[in-house]
Structure 1
Amino acid sequence: MLDQLNEYSFLGNSLFVYLRAIIILLCGLIVVSLLHAIIGHRLKRRSKSGEEGNRWWIASTAFNRIIVPLLYIAVIRLSIAGLVVNEMLNKVMQGIVSAIIAVLAVRAAIFLLETSLRKYAQKTGHEEDEKRIKPLLSFISFILWVTAFIFLLDNLGFNISTLVAGLGVSGIAVAIAAQGILGDLFNYFVIFFDRPFELGDFIIFDDKMGIIEKIGIKTTRVRTLSGEQLVVSNSNLVNARLHNYKRMERRRIVFRIGVTYQTPASQLVEIPGIIKGIIEEVDGTQFDRSHFQGYGDFALTFETVYYVLSPDYLIYMDVQQRINLDLFRAFEERGIEFAYPTQTLYLRSQGMEVFEQQNGLEKEP
């Protein structure tokens, strides 16, 4: 029987060789299908929910998208390995296999990259990162497909040196012409990974301030306090000295008050304690210090430092307003006078002394 099969040939191969190739192909397809069904079903069953499910989902997707197609290609390649074909058909078959492998390699790289970025976004806990991943993936996918196409042409025997040189010159020209756009694009990556600010953050940069409203590939939208939308390039924001008030854990407040020089020494000693008691009665504050700082031109100055345990500016203003009102009432009850700019002028004329005091002339005999 085998001798009879070896006697007949077609396109340079005996029927036995064709039969062997068919048997290897069918057996290989059956084995791969069984592996796909069994392993794929188990991976799919374990990729349900939770952190562990996410890992199994990655394994299941990688198995179905990458490993199974590679196994099918290996079976086909193994089945036709014993066939004798002409050089042209062999090159065509190698080209098809190379193209399929290149596509699978790019898909695998994109899948791994997408999975890594999504895990990074989940780890940071920011929902907006899910949207910002898409433009990153689109740009990187384009680079990967172009690179894979060039390597595929080189593998098929094409001379790509001219193409690479042309792309290099064209790339340099495009980079020079669009260096601002490319700079904003790469600074978008910096913003994504370094996170100097996020949506909803209140920032101050240069002489501008506002709330981050949208982060784009080239520009970032900032809603200013006066209401208009400020469009700023990503490069300007990354290179600017930026104050992010949203990430301030607490606000340090320094304020000064002045009392008149006619205030008795006994009351001067009491003032730091009065201020301390008022601040400690306000919720959400932490008293630091209060001291008689020095002698001013028209006032005895006290400096006080305390913390508002919230970065919210409105809360800070409410706290400071309450402290100011309570301080005013406390000084009013004790007869302590706040100082304000005054001048004292002394004039001497023929033994007479005229006293000018508190922004007006008052003559006394």
Structure 2
Amino acid sequence: MIDFYHSLDLTPTNALFGLAAAVGSYALMHGALILFRKRLGQLSEERMHGPMVQVLHKTLVSTGAFWIFATAVLIGLSVLDLPEPWNTRLGHLWFFTLGMQIAMFLHRAVKIGSRHYFLTHGRAAGNQQVTVAHTVVIWLLQTAVWVVFVLAMLSNLGINVTTFVASLGIGGVAIALAVQNILGDLFASMSIAVDKPFEVGDFVSVNNFSGTVEHVGLKTTRLRALGGEQIVIANAELLRNTVFNFKRMSTRRIVFSLRACPNTPPELAARVPEMLRDIIGRQEKARFDRAHLKTVDQNWIEYEIVYTMLDASYDLYMDTQQAINLDAMRMFADLGISTAPRPQHVLLQAAPGVQADVRGDAKGAANEDAPAQRPRYLNH
């Protein structure tokens, strides 16, 4: 012990000065930590500040007195004029102490921050999928923190970590390529768990497939189609396509057409849009938007009608549409408007030398000198 004391070339005055610096720094850091904890605790209880305040408060709570003591001792030693190799060793101790404390801070902050994020964005926080995604994210981030710390520590000690980092990178790329499909589906599952584009029980349509979501797993999502069969889609494939979630519809816009005979008098045709407004207005959950005579040609006249269902229920929509169609049929009957297309007239003319009846049936060859038959008209 005496040899160690003399090897540092310390005087009683220097030793007392270093001890005073260590004690003073410990008291100062301990008091500042208590004040920070108290203030951050008040801010987190007010809930008027962002989640970063809560994460920082919970992280500082986990700071132990041992690391404050170790830092204070290093401060006390730093004020001394130490000879080599003790000065170099002190630098390594500084790097280890501060690096370890920062790594522990990040380790704790990752856990608290990710938990807060999943609880905020994952509405089904008790769901197994959310729990697994939360665990995987925490494990990956915390592992990255400690790998970086270990590599930095080895580099500070003078060990060449370039080859190790390169090998680690190549190995990571090889593993990622080998399991890229599984990892893609896993991260897609995490995205679904957090972002919630759909949930179990929603009716969705994606990539020409439609069905009710039965299960969202780590690799696949299962839909129950209207025909009864189960559709299994990979999560990554699911998110690469546009997903239509019909359960989250609040309204339903309906566009349909009605046709009538083109011989309808213009006076009657002009009354139809207003009568359609009255018909749709009588429906409890329907809001009339417009009705116009859209098309007039030789075969029919066509009305385009648009209304909005205030309830997205498909069964209610079909009941309402049926009632509107029946009322429209009664309206056309009351107005005397036919819904049949324009009558077609077919001209039948017998070929020279062939006698035909009104049905166009050949009666047999006639005398070439027989007079030509008059054309006959058939309504079709």
**Segment drifting more, 228-237 vs 77-86:** 77-86
Question: Is residue 75 of structure 1 aligned with residue 72 of structure 2?
Answer: yes
Change (3 A) 1:311 1:62: same
Question: Is residue 12 of structure 1 aligned with residue 7 of structure 2?
Answer: yes
Identity of aligned residues (%): 24
2:296 is aligned, of 294, 297, 316, to 294
Q: Match for residue 198 of structure 2?
A: 198
Q: Match for residue 26 of structure 2?
A: 29
Q: Given the two structures, how large is their TM-score scaled by the length of structure 2?
A: 0.70
The CA deviation at 1:273 is: 2.1
1:73·1:97 contact (CA, 8 Å) conserved in 2? no
Question: Is residue 327 of structure 1 aligned with residue 323 of structure 2?
Answer: no
Change (3 A) 1:216 1:151: farther
Larger radius of gyration: 2
Cα separation, 2, equivalents of 1:313 and 1:174: 48
The CA deviation at 1:78 is: 0.9
1:215·1:221 contact (CA, 8 Å) conserved in 2? yes
1:286·1:309 contact (CA, 8 Å) conserved in 2? no
Change (3 A) 1:226 1:185: same
Q: Match for residue 159 of structure 1?
A: 160
After TM superposition, the structure 1 = structure 2 runs for residues 1-365 of structure 1, keeping only pairs within 5 Å, are 10=5, 12-13=7-8, 14=10, 16=12, 19-52=16-49, 57-65=54-62, 71-81=68-78, 82=80, 84=82, 87=85, 91=89, 97-109=94-106, 127-128=123-124, 131=130, 133-185=134-186, 187=188, 195=195, 197-199=197-199, 201-212=202-213, 215=216, 218-227=219-228, 229-246=230-247, 250-260=251-261, 263-282=264-283, 283-295=285-297, 297=299, 299-339=300-340, 349=358
1:213·1:223 contact (CA, 8 Å) conserved in 2? yes
2:277·2:288 contact (CA, 8 Å) conserved in 1? no
1:96-129 CA-to-partner distances (Å, cap 9, x unmatched) read 65444334333434555566666766776x5247
The CA deviation at 1:258 is: 2.3
1:276·1:290 contact (CA, 8 Å) conserved in 2? no
Cα separation, 1, equivalents of 2:11 and 2:346: 126
The CA deviation at 1:269 is: 2.7
* Structure with more of its chain in helix, by fraction: 1
Cα separation, 1, equivalents of 2:342 and 2:154: 84
1:209-231 CA-to-partner distances (Å, cap 9, x unmatched) read 23455555544444444455533
1:41-90 CA-to-partner distances (Å, cap 9, x unmatched) read 34434532533496653442243346977654431211233385884896
Q: Given the two structures, how large is their TM-score scaled by the length of structure 1?
A: 0.72
2:279·2:327 contact (CA, 8 Å) conserved in 1? yes
Change (3 A) 1:279 1:355: same
Aligned-residue CA RMSD in angstroms? 4.3
Change (3 A) 1:266 1:38: closer
Letter in 1 for 2:7: G
1:223·1:229 contact (CA, 8 Å) conserved in 2? yes
1:289·1:305 contact (CA, 8 Å) conserved in 2? yes
Cα separation, 1, equivalents of 2:374 and 2:203: 66
Letter in 1 for 2:287: T
| SS state at 1:47 partner | helix
1:21·1:79 contact (CA, 8 Å) conserved in 2? yes
Cα separation, 2, equivalents of 1:103 and 1:317: 66
Q: Which runs of 5+ in 2 are unaligned?
A: 349-356, 359-372
The CA deviation at 1:184 is: 3.4
Letter in 2 for 1:127: R
Letter in 2 for 1:198: F
| Aligned residue pairs, count | 347
Cα separation, 2, equivalents of 1:226 and 1:66: 59
The CA deviation at 1:135 is: 3.5
